[in-house]
Amino acid sequence: MPTRNGAAVGLSIVIPAFNEAGRIAASLCTILEYLAAEGHDGEIIVVDDGSRDTTVEVVRGILGDGGPHQLLTGRANRGKGFSVREGALAATRPWTLLSDADLSTPIAELDRLLTTAVEEELDLVMGSRALAGSRIGVYQGWLRRNMGRSFNLVMRAITGLPFKDTQCGFKLWRTESIRPLLGRLTIDGFAWDVELLVLARRAGLRLAEVPVEWNDVEGSKVAMVADPLRMLRDLVRVRLRR
């Protein structure tokens, strides 16, 4: 995954984690192998969101202490948006990749996002499960799938964003382009993506969706009733504040 001049990529990979002891070890090993194989200057930043299992111990056992990687912990459970914000602010490389802890989007899909970002001179590229060319290996259940589609329709109506999948947990951005927006984010929950995209679009940044491979992995932290209601509330908050 070279840049235009063939140089290695400086990459911060931010992974929010809440009670991920059963899934995150395999993901971290896969990412470390990928970085080594591709020769990238990469750092992994895991943000523990107040886990009540052994997530912290598992992560520390794989990443170790010191070195290029970071484990941010010692905070109460605040939500995915809060964790992403903390991790992104700690990024030290030119590019920041957000990835879910379960690697539902394989880390190799980073190639597709970075190539698009560099060739089209974009500030933020988001993986999408809803575009032609997307490859869904394992689908979500019918209810979750249709709730996601309904959320996107409501989101587009409320915010005016044109994107078909704002909630895929695989996004790449130029660190210095997005950093000024992070302090203005107010949504700590799952709708944080929407607020960031609204701010980025209004700041005149260049955004795009890219089709990616995606597989549903058991263990979703999204509560079927409570979280969609919170996300709807947060959409209204974004509209009123912006």
HEC profile of 50-77: CCCCCHHHHHHHHHCCCCCCEEECCCCC
The half-sphere exposure of 240 on its side-chain side, counting CA atoms within 13 A, is 8
Distance CA 70, CA 4 (A): 28
Considering the domain delimited by 10-241, tell me its CATH architecture: Alpha-Beta Complex (3.90)
The confidence band for 4, taking pLDDT boundaries of 50, 70 and 90, is very low
Q: Are 139 and 217 in contact (CB under 8 A)?
A: no
Q: Are 116 and 125 in contact (CB under 8 A)?
A: yes
The half-sphere exposure of 206 on its side-chain side, counting CA atoms within 13 A, is 9
The confidence band for 237, taking pLDDT boundaries of 50, 70 and 90, is confident
Beta-strand pair 170-174/10-17: unpaired
Q: Using one digit for the tens of pLDDT, what is the confidence trace for 122-163?
A: 999 999 999 999 999 888 777 888 888 888 999 999 999 999
Give me the residue spans of the domains in the chain. Answer: 10-241
The confidence band for 2, taking pLDDT boundaries of 50, 70 and 90, is very low
In this model, does residue 176 exceed pLDDT 80?
yes
Residue 5 is predicted with a pLDDT of 43
Length of the chain: 242
In this model, does residue 222 exceed pLDDT 70?
no
